[in-house]
A and B are shown apart, each in its own frame.
Chain A
Amino acid sequence: MNGTMAAGRQFRPARRRRVAAWLRPIPYILPSIAAIVLIFAYPLVRLVRESTQQSYAGVTKDVGLTNYQFVLTDSDFITAVTHNLLLLLCVPILILLSVLFAVILNEAARGRRIYSTVLFLPYVLSVPVISVLFNYLLQLNGGVNSILRALGLGAIAQDWLGSESWALPSLMAVIVWKELGFGIMLFFARIISLPNELWEAGRVDGAGWWRLHWHITLPQLRGIIEFYAVVESITMLSWVFAYVYVISSGTGGPGTSTLVTELYIYKSAFGYGTNNLNIASAASAILFVGTVVLMFINFRVRRVDLHA
């Protein structure tokens, strides 16, 4: 016994050093871990639990998957998800326009600085602010229609956000207007970092503008295009609340023409009359699963080296 104690004592300094090394990061990461548990982990656990319960008049009981069943067969929810999927149409438009503008910006003979400052600007502005602005601009007597009339296109002028058939396309236009700056910024930053020699050979061979960019510029942008596509897809599926809330004054209207998943959740939880946190939790959980699936696709597509 004495012998083992002695041996133990001999090893102790080494072991203590090892334990100390293991403990050393704790004060550094603990505050962040605590915050993340509080803001992400705990809410997610609570969300899943409450999505399988129903509270009524102060009594809570387990109802299994009933809430999910309700949400998945609710025509409003299906409409909302369909609208999010339709918003995905913005993604190819955004990629096309922002690559095009970034290339043209790079080739501008003069004023690159000022053009880039102006073209990035919409991305910095607050979504609520620009949504209010477009609310006014897209009215029947708003700025957009007055431009159309001045151009002799008065025939197509209308109440863009007030018509059931045009509200969603108009919303998409507003989102594209705002998100485009981000794409231009990403692609422009990449293009100006490329060496000029890259295009020299193509120019010497007499390749035209389209061929030059199709075969030389585009392959260089591939990784960033993928990144932008994933970020914007996630935006279209689950980060458009502020646009829709402000543009439709919290209704998703006219009718349900601009209803999206986030607003469905918000209205189920906090809307007048509905106010059912359990139903809203089930819808949130479905949205979360959708986001996780997309995230996996993202990692598979990008094959990011997470060790950075």
Chain B
Amino acid sequence: MESVQSPATVTSRRGRLRRAGVAARQVVLVVASASALLPLYAMLTAAFKGQNDYLAHPLGLPLSPSGAAFSTALSSGFPHWLLNSILVAGASVLISLMLATLAAYAFSRMPFPGRSVSFTLMISLMVVPPIVMLIPLFELMSDLNLVNTYQSVIIIYAGLMLPFSIYLLTSFFNTIPRELLEAGSIDGAGHFRSLISIILPLAMPALVTLGIVNLLWAWNELLIALVLLQDDSMKTLMVGITIFQSHNNLNVPVTMAGLLIATIPIVVIYLAGQRFFVQGLAAGAVKE
């Protein structure tokens, strides 16, 4: 291609192109990162402003930083909603992890008739949108007098998490070498013993991954919580946020402070468990 040029000029041209390429990539990444962070930056700065400061400079740094917005937010229903969210998300994740571990063990290690058909059906349920079940579930919960109770939402969340959880854990259990279990059964360990003492310790990373992914899903869920937890004292944080917004339209910083409080736990979980989280979300796709 460049036969006329001497090797030296070729390399220096390549070198320059290369340096330009490196710089171009950094620019792209900086711009992309800035747009990814812009809403968070706006939230963080606005939460420490007063309303007038926010209106004048929506993206500027706070002129006189104050925590007033936080104390207003915290004196509202916020702390209560936060507790509701923790309770509902935590309980549903624990229940679905337990159920899914048991089922995944059976799918992975116990042959039974209809196993592959039921497994296929189960993982197909992953894509059914919750809104499809919402109306009958709402009617069911009213029949059972469970509307406005934690139980209703915990049961529904745990059930909705099951297909993905069973799928993920089954694929993970399948990767555990059979020999490990056979050694166990020669020693006389029953199924339950080998699940508890052989599989579970090996599956810890998978369980943590799944727990984080499910926890974020439950924490962020809006639709079911909106319909089933209507009492002000029962609302979850996500539902609270939506009404908080309309109540504080004249005081944007208060809403921003509320959003910040709702976001901090997620960002902490994400930063602490990023490795697990990325693995978990990639697990559905990156199947070797």
Contacts and interface: CB of A to CB of B under 8 A. Distances in A.
A36 interface: yes
Interface in A4-53: 22, 24-25, 27-29, 31-33, 35-36, 38-40, 42-44, 46-47, 50
A306 B245 contact: no
26 contacts: A43-B133, A46-B136, A50-B136, A104-B25, A115-B32, A119-B32, A119-B33, A126-B238, A128-B220, A129-B259, A132-B245, A133-B39, A133-B43, A136-B46, A137-B42, A141-B55, A147-B59, A190-B285, A228-B285, A245-B222, A245-B226, A266-B134, A281-B135, A284-B135, A285-B132, A306-B119
B67 interface: no
B227 A270 contact: yes
B95 to A, nearest CB: 8
Contacts of A306: 116, 119-120, 123
B140 interface: yes
Interface string B225-236: 011000000000
A29 B102 contact: yes
A202 interface: no
Q: Is the interface of B mostly helix, strand, loop or mixed?
A: helix
B22 interface: yes
B286 A143 contact: no
Interface stretch (A59-67, A160-168, A177-185): A177-185
B136 A28 contact: no
Interface string A233-261: 01000110110011001000000000000
B159 interface: yes
Contact of A128 (B25, B242, B278): B242
A59 to B, nearest CB: 17
A242 B159 contact: no
Kindly name the residue among A43, A134, A295, A307 whose own CB sees the greatest number of chain B CB atoms within 10 A: A43
Given A25-B112, A39-B160, A119-B36, A146 B131 contact: no
A87 interface: no
Interface of B: 1, 21-22, 25-26, 28-29, 32-33, 35-40, 42-43, 46, 55, 57-59, 99-100, 102-103, 105-107, 110, 112-113, 116, 118-120, 122-125, 127-129, 131-140, 155-156, 158-160, 162-163, 166, 170-171, 174, 191, 216, 219-220, 222-223, 226-227, 238, 241-242, 245-246, 252, 255-256, 259, 262-263, 266-267, 270-271, 274, 277-278, 281-282, 284-287
B174 to A, nearest CB: 6
